């Protein structure tokens, strides 16, 4: 099974910039360049074996959503995001640096320009 969440965005171009340039997602389906077209408000992205939908359509999610991403290489991903220019900020960017949680996970948090939060976590002892 694969899960590909919808992430609500207010500006597809701004969201594409954030997810592709800072978080290393690749575009599978880009928005239609015609601003009047239905598909100009939607994009489909991939990073490794994971997918996300970015959408400005009212029925596709809510702002402020939380997505949890379980990874095996948290420190490497964090370093990549920093090298890509993702900043540590309270609103959009890295909102929590890597920390070992009491529940057995090492995590860091990222917030996109629309307040959607992506939490990256790696078990302190990897279990498949």
**What is the SS3 assignment for the chain?**
CCCCCEEECCCHHHHHHHHHHHCCCEEEECCCCCCCCHHHHEEEEEECCEEEEEECCCCCCCCCCEEEEECCCHHHHHHHHHHCCCCECCCCEEEEEEEECCCCEEEEEEECCCCCEEEEEEECCCCC
Summarised one tens digit per residue, pLDDT across range 42-86 is 999 999 989 999 999 888 889 999 999 999 999 999 999 999 999
| Chain segment 18-42, per-residue pLDDT in tens | 999 999 999 998 887 776 666 688 9
Instruction: Report the predicted TM-score, pTM, of the whole model to 2 decimal places.
Output: 0.87
Q: How confident is the model at residue 128 (pLDDT cuts 50, 70, 90)?
A: low
pLDDT value at position 35? 63
Residue ranges and CATH numbers for the domains of the chain are 6-55 (no CATH), 66-123 (3.10.180.10)
């Amino acid at each position: 099974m694969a899960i590909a969440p919808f992430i609500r965005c207010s500006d597809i171009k701004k969201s594409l910039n954030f997810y592709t340039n800072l978080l290393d997602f690749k575009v599978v389906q880009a928005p239609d360049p015609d601003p009047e077209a239905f598909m100009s408000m939607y994009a489909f992205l991939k990073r490794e074996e994971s997918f996300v939908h970015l959408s400005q359509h009212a029925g596709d999610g809510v702002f402020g959503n939380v997505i949890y991403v379980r990874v095996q290489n948290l420190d490497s991903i964090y370093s990549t995001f920093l090298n890509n220019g993702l900043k540590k900020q309270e609103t959009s960017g890295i909102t929590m640096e890597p920390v070992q949680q009491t529940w057995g996970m090492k995590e860091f948090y990222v917030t996109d320009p629309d307040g959607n939060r992506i939490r990256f976590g790696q078990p302190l002892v990897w279990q498949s």
